[in-house]
Amino acid sequence: MAQAQEYIASGTRWVVDLDLEKFFDRVNHDQLLARVAQRVADKRLLKLVRVFLTAGVMEGGLESPSEEGTPQGGPLSPLLSNVVLDELDRELEARGHRFVRYADDVNIYVSSARAGARVMASISNFISKRLKLKINPAKSAVRRPWGSKLLGFSFTNDRQPKRRIAPAAMRRCKQRLRELTQATRGISAGQMVSEVRSYLRGWMGYFGFCQTPTVLTKLEQWLRRRLRNV
């Protein structure tokens, strides 16, 4: 987020926001293992990775085999996404683009909407033909950074942009706090406060990186009113 903020402040105030369609569901196992094998010689480790990929999932008490993709939420999946998308990083670097990527979230910063459209078409073609992955057209677009979101954050529309919490992330936070502070839960106020504190400690550990403290002050005031009602 700090790197993206630097790009925007330097004048690249348009973003090519790419969403890879069902990325973790569609990664080809053979291609992924071939990429891992380029760096890893230990066959036992390669076998272990394949077992992880093909272990399947439990649905309704029945095991479904995994023929492609990596398990969502699995601890190895983010690392394997970097193995797959390393080629994309190298391509973007070779073209001289300013970009940030976290797992399958890719944002490329450009100076105009026209440049963004060219980059969107070119990189989408590369991703489709070289990586055998698809761009989700419904979620991908050329936008202003303050109209976009990345990892739950967005930016203010200032000459020196500030990191802010994306509205959708704030709505999810409030929804979770509403659930925790329902008066009908049948628990003591002390236990309720303890659960709220536990949730907010983790939430602030992440979203405390924002630079808009007024939003956090308003959230605290809103939460205190709910707790007083309880």
Q: What pLDDT sits at residue 208?
A: 94
**Does the reported pTM lie above 0.85?**
no
Q: What pLDDT sits at residue 119?
A: 97
* Residues 70-104: tens digit of each pLDDT: 666 677 777 888 888 999 999 999 999 999 999 88
Q: What pLDDT sits at residue 21?
A: 83
Cross-strand pairs, 57: 64
* Residues 130-152: tens digit of each pLDDT: 888 889 888 899 999 999 999 99
Where the chain has pLDDT below 50, the residues are: none
Q: What pLDDT sits at residue 80?
A: 81
The b/e string for 188-215 (b: 16+ C-beta within 10 A; e otherwise) is eeeebeeebeeebeebeeebeebbeeee
Q: What pLDDT sits at residue 118?
A: 97
